Amino acid sequence: MSEALVIDGSYLEGGGQILRNALSLSCILRRPIKVTNIRANRPNPGLSNQHLFGLNLLQNITGARVKGNHIKSTEVEFYPGDITSGRYTVDTRTAASVALVLQAALPVLIFGNSKSELDLIGGTNVGMAPQVDSMTEVLRPNLELFGISFDFDLFKRGYYPRGGGHCKVLVPAVRSIKAVNLVNFGVVSEVSGWCFVAGKLPLRIAEDMKQAAERELQQICRNPPQLEAYKESLEVARDNGSGVILKAVTTEGCTVGSSALGERQVDGRVLGKSAADELTKYLKSEICVDSHVQDQIIIFMALAHGISRILTTPLTQHTRTAMHVANLMTGVKFDVEEIESNNRVILSCHGIGFENKQIYTKFV
């Protein structure tokens, strides 16, 4: 096996995502890596629970030889084998984000020899990570344009600090990924959203979120936004939690979203307004890819067949970091064209056209 490519984990964002992207690409390209200075730019550097569970999952999926897979480790060596489709379970026993474990595993499992099933236990709606609802409602429609999808069943929600959320994700394998052309916004055809509370929090807080979000969104939407306010049942969520997920779909097939998550002191009006303000900003500037989907699709743009182009917000530090890792590992170059009006950019790249040699039909 070739020598490990050294990746400096402190580069730019210097958080967990550089490690996840590097590990995913290592598995896909079967290229060994050594990631140093892991999460050097975070107050608690090194591997935390979520990163370690993601790493161990990828080790299981590829039968990798690994060094440094322990909590607080700042250096990991990873020598992957073939991707093996199957059933995998991850129980983080904490509120570690299952969405971020999925973020690491999804690009790998699509290149297995068949479909895979992930049973994930941990935090489903926690801070500094996509809420699982953003993964299904906003990220997934964007991935479908690349020819990638997944089925998702949610059994229990897990919030900070106890976690205990439970979901099952079914990931079909693909032969290859299509390039996307997401530069035409069209007009907004639908705005929808979910305002939730759980545990001891009263439904009124979710209704406040809904009202506040509606008030903001009415100023920009032609049709009334379809927002739902609800309280999770005790079977689905025992602990206190609250949040809002909003999404807009356009006539040209763009899906952009925003979200907010309640903390200990929850003011529904503040949460609803903050998510609605973010969505309003996207709709006013008519971008096709929002700033959270932006960094999460870089890996797919790099692996796709042909040229992908996306009209998006100015690039985030997470996105620049993902571009750096993709460039190091695949050689693809990203072009950024600044569009003066509305503070937008067109980001493009010619993907390497990665072929899954393990399967011969498009979806399995």
Q: Binding site: residue ranges?
A: 103, 292-296
CA distance 291 to 309: 15
Binding residues for ATP: 103, 292-296
> Could you say which of 51, 166, 305, 318 is catalytic?
318
Nearer to ligand ATP, 95 or 359 (CB): 95
Residue 27 in contact with residue 45, Cβ under 8 Å? no
Nearer to ligand ATP, 51 or 175 (CB): 51
Question: What's the angle, vertex CA 334, arms to CA 21 and CA 171, rounded to 5?
Answer: 40
Nearer to ligand ATP, 64 or 244 (CB): 244
Question: What's the angle, vertex CA 152, arms to CA 148 and CA 153, rounded to 5?
Answer: 170
Residue 19 CB, shortest distance to ligand ATP, in Å, is 8
- Residue ranges that bind ligand ATP, judged by CB under 6 A: 13, 15-17, 39, 42, 50-51, 100, 128-130, 134, 259, 292, 295-296, 318
Residue 309 in contact with residue 337, Cβ under 8 Å? no
CA distance 179 to 251: 19
Residue 103 CB, shortest distance to ligand ATP, in Å, is 6
Residue 24 CB, shortest distance to ligand ATP, in Å, is 12
Tell me the three state secondary structure of residue 177.
coil
**Positive or negative: CA dihedral 55, 57, 58, 62:** positive
- Per the annotation, the verdict on 324 as an active-site residue is no
Nearer to ligand ATP, 243 or 351 (CB): 243
Task: Report which residue's Cβ sits closest to ligand ATP.
Answer: 16
Picking from 297, 330, 305, the residue whose alpha carbon sits closest to that of residue 26 is 330
Nearer to ligand ATP, 50 or 280 (CB): 50
Residue 321 CB, shortest distance to ligand ATP, in Å, is 7
Residue 207 CB, shortest distance to ligand ATP, in Å, is 22
What separation in angstroms does the CA of 148 have from each of 107, 115, 227?
A: 9, 12, 27
Burial (Cβ within 10 Å: 0-12, 13-18, ≥19) of residue 93: exposed
CA distance 164 to 229: 23
Give the active site residues: 318
